[in-house]
Chain A
Amino acid sequence: MAVLLLAEVTDGNLAMDATAKAVAACEKLGEVTVLVAGASAAAAGDAAAKIDGVAKVLVAEDASLGHRLAEATAALIVSLADDYEHIVAPATTDAKNVMPRVAALLDVMVISDASGVVDADTFERPIYAGNAVQTVKSKDAKKVITFRTSTFDAAGEGGSAPVETVGVTADPGLSSWVEDKVAESDRPDLTSAGIVVSGGRGVGSEEDFALIEKLADKLGAAVGASRAAVDSGYAPNDWQVGQTGKVVAPNLYIAAGISGAIQHLAGMKDSKIIVAINKDEEAPIFQVADYGLVADLFQALPELTEKL
């Protein structure tokens, strides 16, 4: 059986971690062909060819694919779909935008955010903010799936798959890109970082969020936030961890000033070690924490940053 895997490509660059994790998720599914699409995608295609387990890479280059607009990307995937039983992608916002559209065009259900592969038809996925895990068996001839990357280890790099270019379907012209607002950062990527330091409403202000950032920088960590911290303007939206934000599973997750609502836990409770710093000893975050420190974060964070 054959798998078509939509690689994660941003501005012509391959997001190696997300793509390699999705490749690893396909181990039980069949031979993997990676589709690399973008306004420029050749370099990303060469990078994808190195991922272990990739049998072939298809490069599709066209201006209409430049910003991963759903209409053009879905049309491209559907034009290639005949040859594959599984059409998959890492569960990024790009893929969550595109893959349900692909599924509907093929008249099949989408399996969103799969966290486990039982067999070629059967998958596990979290529901209710991760409060339950459902095993579903697809009755569709083709399976369209996004994989939750935090639960798969990335495939290695050492392969050299052949790279082909494919023709691009006509741009449906339904949408156009206007601008991106992307904050440049030297910190590691939130979804692949080994350590994440997150702040919540308890941090109190955008200025004081620097306490979180300083600790993160000391540890070489990524920075996360609760929804309340993002809604209050302390942190940008792409830092939100949770049911409707990013899902992370680092070796170490430090939550400061976060109460531990289920919607937040949904995004971090698979972390290997969880540290909670909260001044309220009743805060639910302590129920998932390996190490809980009942303290005022304004004292604990600077002390921690200094002594580490």
Chain B
Amino acid sequence: MKVLVPVKRVIDYNVKVRVKADGTGVDLANVKMSMNPFDEISVEQAIRLKEAGQADEVVVVSIGVKQSQETLRTALAMGADRAILVVASDDVHNDIEPLAVAKILKAIVDEEQPGLVLCGKQAIDNDMNATGQMLAALMGWSQATFASEVEIAGDKAKVTREVDGGLQTIEVSMPTVITVDLRLNEPRYASLPNIMKAKKKPLEEKSASDYGVDVANRLEIVKTAEPAERVAGITVGSVDELIAKLKEAGAV
């Protein structure tokens, strides 16, 4: 079975985000970029499936600016076999929407015929939580989102999902799209020799037009603003003082 893993290049989760003064977006010039943390988890899961003999090839895909190549190299260094870079924008500030990403992924799935697509649950930049579900819809496949446990047996996958009420386990028919949650695994770090080896692994470069997909955004960004600031609070010296303040505020 071939496993396809879409990985997104996003602002590093440790970076303090700054809204651009002109309100057109978030400043991404000269900020540290990394692989979306959820995608590290899906790459890890795919590699584990290969190590367990359940997958024979792990193909990683990234859609966006040319620099997404770095993200793909990271995935190759972790252990993916091959990468596809789809250049869909030449501006780091132009985020390709989940619907367009899902359409490009569908074209790649049609070509590559994977038995499984492992997506992240959510990209930590746009916080959309949509691409995997959209790809499953376009393929007419089953979907299992927010996975914290995955067991593949024949043409079925048993997936435990993190839901509002706790955990739900479902069984989906393969091929399928699974989106991964934080507790599925702990991703490995790439070792130096593997980083060197990754430089020689195949990375194919494509463009959105190769797949005939229109990547124009459906959501026009009217403005981007800072969230409302909280007024500075006070430090209390003791539990008694805290209780007094809370009573004064009518909070307890």
Please list the residues of chain A having a beta carbon within 8 angstroms of any beta carbon in chain B: 10, 67, 69-71, 74, 92-94, 96-105, 107-113, 122, 125-140, 172-183, 191, 195, 219, 227, 230-231, 236-238, 243-244, 246, 251-252, 262-263, 269, 272-275, 281, 286, 288-295, 300, 303-304, 307-308
Q: Which residues of B contact A138 (CB under 8 A)?
A: 218-220
Q: Which residues of B contact A100 (CB under 8 A)?
A: 98, 128-134, 137
Contact indicator B127/A181 (Cβ below 8 Å):
no
With both chains docked as a complex, state the minimum distance between the C-beta of A18 and any C-beta of chain B, in angstroms. 9
Interfacial chain B residues near A231, Cβ < 8 Å: 182-183
Contact among A97, A135, A182 for B166, CB-based, below 8 A: A182
Cα-based distance from A131 to B226 in the complex (angstroms): 7
Main secondary structure of the interface of A (DSSP, over half): mixed
Instruction: Name A178's contact: one of B169, B222, B226, B243 (CB within 8 Å).
Output: B169
21 contacts across the A-B interface (CB closer than 8 A)? A100-B132, A103-B137, A110-B98, A112-B128, A125-B127, A127-B26, A127-B125, A134-B225, A139-B218, A139-B220, A191-B164, A238-B165, A238-B166, A251-B251, A274-B230, A291-B234, A292-B235, A293-B238, A293-B242, A307-B240, A308-B243
Q: Is A132 in contact with B227, judged by CB distance below 8 angstroms?
A: yes
Give B contacts to A, CB under 8 Å. 11, 13, 16-17, 19, 26, 97-99, 102, 121-122, 124-138, 140-146, 148, 158, 161-173, 181-183, 217-227, 230, 233-236, 238-240, 242-243, 245-246, 249, 251-252
Q: Given A175-B142, A237-B183 in contact, is the A101-B133 Cβ separation under 8 Å? A: yes
Residue contact B145 to A70, C-beta cutoff 8 Å: yes
In the complex the two chains form, is A134's CB within 8 Å of B224's CB?
yes
Chain A residues with CB below 8 A from B13, complex form: 263
Which of B124, B220, B238 is the one whose CB lies under 8 Å from A129? B124
A274 engages B233 (CB within 8 Å): yes
What's the least CB distance linking B245 to chain A, in Å?
Answer: 5
Q: Which of A109, A127, A135, A272 contacts B97, CB < 8 Å?
A: A109
Residue of A nearest to B122 (CB): A244
Q: Which residues of A contact B125 (CB under 8 A)?
A: 127-128
- Give the residue of A93, A108, A112, A291 whose beta carbon is less than 8 angstroms from that of B246: A291
CB distance from A298 to the nearest CB of B (A): 13
Q: Is the CB of B221 within 8 A of A135?
A: yes
Complex: A274 Cα to B232 Cα, angstroms: 11
Residues of B within 8 A of A262 (CB): 16
A-B pairs with beta carbons under 8 A, tally: 252
Q: How far is the CB of A145 from chain B (nearest CB, A)?
A: 11
Closest to A122 in B: B222
When distances are taken between beta carbons in the complex, the residues of chain B under 8 Å from A281 are 235
In the A-B complex, list the 6 residue pairs whose CB atoms are closest, starting with the nearest: A174-B142, A104-B134, A100-B130, A100-B133, A104-B137, A290-B233
| Whole-angstrom distance between the Cβ of B203 and the nearest chain A Cβ | 28
In the bound assembly, the distance between CA atoms of A251 and B250 in angstroms comes to 10
> Which of B126, B135, B169, B252 interacts with A219 by CB under 8 Å?
B252
- CB–CB A177/B26 < 8 A: no
Q: Are A307's CB and B246's CB within 8 A?
A: no
- A112 CA to B225 CA, complexed, in Å: 17
A277 to B53 Cα, complex, angstroms = 48
Residue of A with least CB distance to B141: A174
- Which residue of B134, B243, B252 has the most chain A CB atoms within 10 A of its CB atom? B252
Is the CB–CB distance between B219 and A133 below 8 Å?
Answer: no
CB distance from A81 to the nearest CB of B (A): 13
Residues of B within 8 A of A183 (CB): 166
Residue of B with least CB distance to A111: B219
Partner pick for A135 among B17, B223, B226, B240, CB 8 A cutoff: B223
* Distance (whole angstroms) from the CB of A205 to the closest CB of chain B: 18
* Residues of chain A with a CB closer than 8 A to B133's CB: 70, 97-101, 104
Tell me whether A94 and B163 are in contact (CB under 8 A).
yes
